[in-house]
Amino acid sequence: MFTISRHPVSDDVRQRAHLDDADYQRLYQQSVDDPETFWGEQAKAFLDWFKPWDEVCSGSLSKGDIRWFSGGELNISHNCIDRHLAKRGDQVALIWEGDDPNESATITYKALHEQVCRLANVLKDRGVKKGDRVCIYMPMVPEAAYAMLACTRIGAVHSVVFGGFSPDALRDRILDADCRTVITADEAVRGGKQIPLKSNVDTALNSCPNVSTVLVVRRTGKEVDWQAKRDLWYHEAVQQVAADCPAEPMDAEDPLFILYTSGSTGKPKGVLHSTAGYLLQAAMTHKYVFDYHDGDIYWCTADVGWVTGHSYIVYGPLANGATSLIFEGVPNYPDTSRFWQVIDKHQVNIFYTAPTALRALMREGEAPVKKTSRSSLRLLGSVGEPINPEAWEWYFNVVGEQRCPIVDTWWQTETGTIMITPLPGATDLKPGSATRPFFGVQPVLLDEQGKEIDGAGAGVLAIKASWPSQIRSVYGDHKRMLETYFTAYPGYYFSGDGARRDEDGYWWITGRVDDVINVSGHRIGTAEVESALVLHEAVAEAAVVGYPHDVKGQGIYAFVTTMNGVEPSDELKKELLSLVGKEIGSFAKPELIQWAPGLPKTRSGKIMRRILRKIACNELDSLGDTSTLADPAVVDSLVAERLNS
Ligand code: PRX
């Protein structure tokens, strides 16, 4: 057993930090006792407004009509760029570190302003207007951030699709949001390999007749297919327009972006965020959670295709006038010292990454870390999945040399920004615990009947009052938002996660309680993988569950029943994997496929996933009562043939 030790806030950290524990207690209390005053003050302190708001917060969780800063007007790109120009025009806004260690660039706030304005003008010339949706399918290059900010400048709603998604998945997302414009690159480069983004877009667009503009960043120079009227080279287009573009005044509640995420049922949902509340909480969490001070170099290793990249590479840092690093590569290319080399090269002070990367690097031992200095590091962060205490201690002792506090931040695409987290100068740390709620966040534990559990205990994690950056809708399907998040436990936001609260009131997130699997921090719905598998003509039925994986956190385990008369084979397994790759993307391919002559079902025909989960996790003592199954013998054969024994 690994014993969990408490790590108190050190004097050094406390002295430097914006907030200490007394500040936290006072501000947290104010934020829940008097949210109107609290958030009103923060919104004035953190954001620049064109027009003040009439009301801080209105509406209710159960009705799904929440509004923050109603009547107020502002613009996100103005807040992330223009207002910094007088003081920080020549300060670096973005550092870009290429996949190849010899490639990097810096972009000042002044340069960022020009780039974003030019691109905004290109979009306008192509007819993009306020409220239109623009799809961004990009590598990790500065143009990805320009594209997001250019949309916000003119009030277009961006939908960033992670570059690892397949053409089919991209097509579904373009169609769902009815995007007419796509911004992409000829190729992406990761770990020395090329990914054919433009060709993926071409394939996707075979079924998207409404797309009239594809802007293509030239990243590698690879020759690509071209449709003369539709396709434009980015570098040519931006030279043909003016270098200035006014920032459109937007209503506080105007939609800002759509980001697709997986749930337990059906196809991915387009989570919709709105303008003011999102930016406020992104800026505020970035400053206090990472204890950001002027001049710090900050690096979040996420991809802009996920919410972490939105809030903590682009919006939070830039709203605070920070220097934010964008990394194109992967942790193990050219070798497993890469993260630490980048930290030394750019003198990174604050580093935010995912447990899966840490676990993979931990396997390589301490040498690749120790051959670098890392003396610039002051603070470490973790996000995306529970961090196991062993990985936490390794991060703390080896990477941070016991000098850097770790902020383990719990949040979701739907919450928009960090919800449960330590504050470095305020919170004693316990490895594996996300610790305490951020200002204004009121988490509760609910039991199976939906009753709040007081004190220490375990249950499902729900939130009992609105927070500024909360989900506003599911794009095109408001009812689905209400059903997914606000119906199971009326009056609460249901997170889909299980949690435990200890005697000190600290929160420990235990993982999803629904049919969502978290593979290397990528959220994958079991239903999506199953739908892909059953598309194969040889497959009669498929059931997908998660199981613990040393590096990825969870792995995907698929039970597949073939059609009568079809012999399972390795060939078929390969076809199934490539089918999942085609339908979703390579990251969703099952690690394990077990051929199942039958699946455990109730007499009414419902698949008993609970039993499959136990088999996949090799937890045979707790299979539970199988006597109510239509055919209990099925379980014995699945257990005998299990792949994770
Ligand atoms: O299960 C939780 C896990 O990631 C889920 C949210 O995934 P996504 O919307 O893709 O956003 C990921 C980045 C915020 C959650 O429901 N999760 C996220 N952070 C943590 C976590 N689980 C435990 N500890 C965390 N710090």
Name the residue at shortest CA distance from atom 3 of ligand 1: 385
- Ligand 1 pocket residues where CB is under 6 Å: 261, 306-308, 383-386, 408-413, 434, 495-497, 509, 511-512, 518, 523
Span 139-143, average pLDDT: 98
Residues 158 and 258 sit within 8 Å (Cβ to Cβ): yes
Residues 498 and 458 sit within 8 Å (Cβ to Cβ): yes
DSSP letters for 32-46? HH-HHHHHHHHHHHH
- The ipTM estimated for the assembled molecules is 0.99
**Residue 409, annotated ligand binder?**
yes
pLDDT (tens digit, 9 = 90+) per residue, 579-601?
A: 999 999 999 999 999 999 999 99
pLDDT at 270: 98
Residues 593 and 578 sit within 8 Å (Cβ to Cβ): no
Residues 136 and 177 sit within 8 Å (Cβ to Cβ): no
pLDDT at 248: 98
Taking residue 615's Cβ as centre, other Cβ atoms within 10 Å add up to 25
pLDDT at 630: 84
532 secondary structure, DSSP code: H
Is residue 501 classed as helix, strand or coil in its secondary structure?
A: strand
Output the CA 32–ligand 1 centroid distance in Å.
Answer: 24
Model confidence at 604, pLDDT cuts 50, 70, 90, reads: confident
Tell me the pairing of strands 516-519 and 522-525: antiparallel
Spatial distance between the Cα atoms of 237 and 241, rounded to a whole number of angstroms: 7
Spatial distance between the Cα atoms of 268 and 162, rounded to a whole number of angstroms: 13
Model confidence at 361, pLDDT cuts 50, 70, 90, reads: very high
Nearest atom in ligand 1 to the alpha carbon of residue 410 is 26
The average confidence (pLDDT) of the chain is: 97
Residues 388 and 509 sit within 8 Å (Cβ to Cβ): no
- Backbone φ and ψ for 105, nearest 5 degrees, come out as -155, 160
Is residue 562 classed as helix, strand or coil in its secondary structure?
A: strand
Q: What angle do CA 354, 32, 279 make, to 5 degrees?
A: 50
Residues 139 and 220 sit within 8 Å (Cβ to Cβ): no
pTM above 0.95, yes or no: yes
pLDDT (tens digit, 9 = 90+) per residue, 32-71?
A: 999 999 999 999 999 999 999 999 999 999 999 999 999 9
Residues 284 and 310 sit within 8 Å (Cβ to Cβ): no
Span 312-327, average pLDDT: 98
Tell me which residue of 189, 94, 183, 111 sits closest to 147, measured CA to CA: 183
First to last CA, the chain: 21
Span 537-546, average pLDDT: 97
pLDDT (tens digit, 9 = 90+) per residue, 205-257?
A: 999 999 999 999 999 999 999 999 999 999 999 999 999 999 999 999 999 99
Burial class (CB in 10 A: 0-12, 13-18, 19+), 278: buried
Output the CA 386–ligand 1 centroid distance in Å.
Answer: 8
Residues 403 and 377 sit within 8 Å (Cβ to Cβ): yes
Residues 291 and 17 sit within 8 Å (Cβ to Cβ): yes
Name the residue at shortest CA distance from atom 12 of ligand 1: 384
pLDDT at 625: 81
Output the CA 518–ligand 1 centroid distance in Å.
Answer: 8
Name the residue at shortest CA distance from atom 14 of ligand 1: 412
Q: What angle do CA 325, 327, 330 make, to 5 degrees?
A: 145
Output the CA 412–ligand 1 centroid distance in Å.
Answer: 5
pLDDT at 264: 79
Amino acid occupying residue 333: Y
**Does the pLDDT at position 1 exceed 70?**
no
Tell me which residue of 380, 382, 358 sits closest to 369, measured CA to CA: 358
Residues 573 and 579 sit within 8 Å (Cβ to Cβ): no
pLDDT at 624: 82
Output the CA 324–ligand 1 centroid distance in Å.
Answer: 22
pLDDT at 10: 97
pLDDT at 622: 83
**Residue 521, annotated ligand binder?**
no
**Residue 411, annotated ligand binder?**
yes
Spatial distance between the Cα atoms of 257 and 280, rounded to a whole number of angstroms: 15
- The strands making up 255-261's β-sheet, listed across from edge to edge, are 231-233, 213-217, 181-185, 133-136, 157-160, 255-261, 269-274, 473-474
pLDDT at 486: 97
Residues 420 and 436 sit within 8 Å (Cβ to Cβ): yes
**Residue 9, annotated ligand binder?**
no
- Backbone φ and ψ for 634, nearest 5 degrees, come out as -55, -40
pLDDT (tens digit, 9 = 90+) per residue, 170-215?
A: 999 999 999 999 999 999 999 999 999 999 999 999 999 999 999 9
Q: Candidates 383, 406, 552: which one to mutate for ligand 1, based on the most atoms within 8 Å of Cβ?
A: 383
Name the residue at shortest CA distance from atom 15 of ligand 1: 412
pLDDT (tens digit, 9 = 90+) per residue, 333-358?
A: 999 999 999 999 999 999 999 999 99
pLDDT (tens digit, 9 = 90+) per residue, 71-120?
A: 999 999 999 999 999 999 999 999 999 999 999 999 999 999 999 999 99
Name the residue at shortest CA distance from atom 21 of ligand 1: 385
**Residue 497, annotated ligand binder?**
yes
Radius of gyration of the chain (CA): 24
Tell me which residue of 189, 185, 163, 162 sits closest to 100, measured CA to CA: 189
Half-sphere exposure of 422 (CA within 13 A, CB side): 30
Q: How many helices (H) and strands (E) does the chain have?
A: 22, 31
Output the CA 127–ligand 1 centroid distance in Å.
Answer: 37
Tokens representing 422 are: 């330590």
CA distances from 535 to 456, 582, 583 (A): 46, 11, 10
pLDDT at 627: 82
pLDDT at 558: 98
pLDDT at 64: 95
Residues 599 and 541 sit within 8 Å (Cβ to Cβ): yes
Half-sphere exposure of 318 (CA within 13 A, CB side): 32
**Residue 412, annotated ligand binder?**
yes
Is residue 58 classed as helix, strand or coil in its secondary structure?
A: strand
Greatest alpha-carbon span in the chain: 74
pLDDT (tens digit, 9 = 90+) per residue, 428-466?
A: 999 999 999 999 999 999 999 999 999 999 999 999 999
